[in-house]
């Protein structure tokens, strides 16, 4: 399959972990979907957001000659609506159309749609074939890869979910051209993170020409997307070093997201989290002043926040401890000894954690 799909304009990146599946990166890739689905499905459900309704309709029309029935399910693409009731709406469609385990689900949309469709596919008949087609930068480089799916409840974000890898992920960078500038810049926090922990070429692209690197129409944009995907695919694959290193900036970032009731974009919270991790790395390890300043310059060039209010530390610390199910001194942080040299730091005294926070507080 990989050899069949690879060509001069398409890159195929394999995730080789508990499950093996391809991630396609390129332009105009929707023609590859029938090959990814295979001949077995008789019925297909395309779960999509309103913003990409025309794309979903065009894909339905292209698939219809190959399969018995292709249905559309439009769902909201905002975090508060990622609920079990919306998943139930999709299951109702599957049930009424008598989908069986040999049938398939396709997602087309941002992170919420990808999460939701993955959860729907994983639970129906104990698992339908799933092809994810992310249409936002964050979904391409983070949400669609790894098989983590879920819905939100009153008890928390993604409180109910599954680990269910897709059959394939299709990252057609042409689908990102409709995104706002703010959406792209904020999502680039995840891409910059991959540069800091593993792939300095990403940082060099951003430093040399930020405008072109964040413009979906350019080769530089596609290259940055591809490099970030390679970082995550390697981490998830056997012998790749493990997924924990992908959590650079996540400890404080996730606490900020929770404190802000998820009204902050993920990339904004992650940016503050990475600055905090950089300061912690400088205080407890070998990270140089120059590397910390490089964080500051790159993240600020993306118009991302670098600080958070000083009086919020106690609540953030409690949230980090709760999220890690750990007591004082037991938190785990990913820090850097240098660019592309991450490690896990444990057993840090609370006073040092607070001191590092003072460096990123406003």
| pLDDT tens track for 34-46 | 999 988 999 999 9
What pTM value is reported for the model?
0.93
pLDDT reading at 327 higher than 60 = no
For residues 162-191, give the mean pLDDT: 96
Q: Do 200 and 282 fall within a single domain?
A: yes
Helices (H), the chain: 2-5, 33-37, 53-63, 84-96, 111-123, 137-138, 181-197, 200-208, 210-213, 219-236, 250-259, 266-284, 289-301, 313-324, 350-358
- Residue 41 maps to which CATH number? 3.40.50.1970
Whole-number Å distance between alpha carbons of 73 and 84: 15
Q: Do 275 and 298 fall within a single domain?
A: yes
Q: Do 170 and 225 fall within a single domain?
A: no
Question: Among 131, 149, 178, where does a domain finish?
Answer: 178
Terminus-to-terminus CA distance in the chain, angstroms? Answer: 52
- Residue 327 maps to which CATH number? 1.20.1090.10
Residue 168 structure tokens: 């394939």
Q: Do 27 and 143 fall within a single domain?
A: yes
pLDDT reading at 217 higher than 60 = yes
| pLDDT tens track for 65-101 | 999 899 999 999 888 889 999 999 999 999 999 999 9
Name the average pLDDT for the chain: 93
| pLDDT tens track for 256-315 | 999 998 899 999 999 999 999 999 999 987 899 999 999 999 999 999 999 999 999 999
pLDDT reading at 184 higher than 50 = yes
The reported pLDDT for the residue numbered 329 is 55
pLDDT band with cut points at 50, 70 and 90 for residue 241: low
pLDDT band with cut points at 50, 70 and 90 for residue 3: very low
| Dihedral angle sign, alpha carbons of residues 126, 130, 136, 140 | positive
Residues 6+ apart with CB under 8 A from 255: 316, 317, 319, 320, 323
Q: Do 237 and 92 fall within a single domain?
A: no
Give the total number of structural domains in the chain: 2
Residue 59 structure tokens: 């894909």
**C-beta separation of 93 from 109 below 8 A:** no
Q: Do 255 and 151 fall within a single domain?
A: no
Question: Among 150, 178, 206, where does a domain finish?
Answer: 178
Query: Other CB atoms closer than 10 Å to residue 101's CB: what's the count?
Result: 10
Question: Among 178, 204, 222, where does a domain finish?
Answer: 178
Q: How many residues in the chain?
A: 362
- How much of the chain exceeds pLDDT 70, in percent? 95
Q: Do 108 and 131 fall within a single domain?
A: yes
The reported pLDDT for the residue numbered 326 is 54
Q: Do 119 and 198 fall within a single domain?
A: no
The per-residue b/e assignment along 122-131, b for 16 or more CB within 10 angstroms, e otherwise, is bbbeeebbbb
Q: Do 103 and 228 fall within a single domain?
A: no
Helices (H), 237-288: 250-259, 266-284
The boundaries of the domain holding residue 310 are: 181-358
Q: Do 200 and 342 fall within a single domain?
A: yes
Q: Do 44 and 187 fall within a single domain?
A: no
Q: Do 171 and 252 fall within a single domain?
A: no
pLDDT band with cut points at 50, 70 and 90 for residue 191: very high
- Residue 3 main-chain phi, psi, to 5 deg: -65, -35
pLDDT reading at 5 higher than 80 = no
Whole-number Å distance between alpha carbons of 138 and 119: 18
Placement of tokens 């819905």 in the chain: 151
């Amino acid at each position: 399959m990989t050899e069949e799909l690879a060509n001069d304009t398409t890159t195929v990146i394999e995730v080789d972990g508990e499950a093996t599946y391809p991630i396609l990166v390129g332009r105009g890739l929707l023609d590859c979907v029938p090959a990814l689905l295979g001949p077995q499905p008789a019925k297909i459900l395309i779960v999509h957001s309103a913003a990409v309704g025309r794309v979903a309709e065009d894909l339905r029309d292209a698939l219809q000659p190959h399969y018995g029935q292709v249905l559309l399910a439009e769902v909201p693409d905002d975090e508060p609506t990622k609920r079990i009731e919306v998943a139930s709406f999709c299951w109702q469609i599957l049930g009424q159309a008598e989908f069986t385990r040999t049938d398939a689900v396709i997602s087309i949309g941002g992170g919420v749609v990808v999460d939701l469709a993955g959860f729907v596919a994983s639970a129906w008949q104990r698992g339908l074939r799933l092809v994810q087609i992310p249409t936002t930068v964050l979904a391409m480089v983070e949400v669609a890869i790894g098989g983590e799916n879920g819905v939100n409840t009153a008890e928390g974000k993604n409180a109910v979910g599954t680990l269910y890898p897709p059959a394939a992920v299709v990252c057609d960078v042409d689908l990102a051209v409709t995104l706002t500038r703010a959406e792209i810049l904020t999502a680039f926090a995840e891409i910059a993170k991959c540069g800091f922990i593993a792939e300095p070429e990403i940082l060099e692209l951003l430093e040399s020409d930020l405008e072109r690197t964040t413009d979906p129409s350019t080769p530089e944009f596609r290259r940055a997307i591809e490099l970030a995907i390679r970082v995550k695919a390697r981490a998830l694959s056997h012998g790749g070093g493990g997924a924990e290193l992908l959590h650079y900036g996540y400890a404080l970032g996730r606490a900020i997201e929770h404190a802000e009731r998820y009204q902050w974009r993920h990339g904004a919270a992650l940016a503050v989290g990475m600055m905090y991790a950089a300061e912690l790395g400088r205080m407890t390890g070998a990270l140089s002043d120059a590397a910390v300043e490089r964080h500051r310059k790159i993240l600020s060039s993306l118009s991302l926040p670098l600080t958070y209010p000083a009086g919020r530390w106690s609540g953030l610390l409690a949230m980090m401890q709760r999220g890690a199910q750990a007591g004082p001194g037991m938190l785990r942080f990913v820090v850097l000894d240098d660019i592309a040299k991450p490690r896990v730091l444990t057993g840090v005294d609370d006073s040092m954690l607070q001191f590092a926070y003072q460096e990123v507080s406003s």
